[in-house]
Structure formats: C-alpha cells, structure tokens
Amino acid sequence: MANIQSAKKRIRQNAKRRDRNRHYRVAARTYVKKARAHIAAGQIEEAEDAAYQAVRTLDKAARKGIIHPRNAARRKSRLMTALAAAQQEAAT
C-alpha cells in the first residue's frame, strides 16, 4: 500500500479512469461481436447497423486514447472486410 499522499491520490485517479475506460472498451467489443454474429447468421441489414455502431465506438475509444488508433483501424478493417464478403455472398 502506498504511504505517500500523492501516490494514494494517483491510485484513486487510476481506479476512476480504469472504470471510465472500461465502458468504451467493452462497448466496442460488444458491437463487434454483434456484427460478427449477424454476419455469420446471414442477417446483412442487422450486421450493417451493428458494424456502424462498432466503427463509431472504436473511433471514439481511439480518439479518447483508450485503445491505439491503429488497433481501432485494424479491427474496423477486419470487420468491414467480413461484412463486404457477406454482402457479396448474399448478392449472388
């Protein structure tokens, strides 16, 4: 346990930030999972909506510094590639 006052304050600040950041990280993960589930089920309309939400939350997390911008870009790229493949398959 920290003995110095500034270290104790830093522990409190880190706990607050961890809780705040967890919200964005979990939300992004949830929307990506939903989009992938809809893609796997062949529900293209729902997958597009979920992908849109996933992209928004990933961008927001990257903008706030919760995840690295390249991490967000990579996840968005993989999700949109899977969505495009599902749309292509549904069109044929």
pTM for the whole structure = 0.83
44 within 8 A of 87, measured Cβ to Cβ:
yes
Q: Domain 24-91: give its CATH code.
A: 1.20.58.110
Taking only Cα atoms into account, the Rg of the chain, rounded to an integer number of angstroms, comes to 18
Residue with tokens 């964005």: 24
pLDDT at 27: 95
83 within 8 A of 39, measured Cβ to Cβ:
yes
pLDDT band at 1 (very low <50, low <70, confident <90, very high): confident
What are the domain boundaries of the chain? 24-91
Instruction: For residue range 53-82, list pLDDT tens digits in order.
Output: 999 999 999 999 999 999 999 999 999 999
**Whole-number Å distance between alpha carbons of 38 and 77:** 17
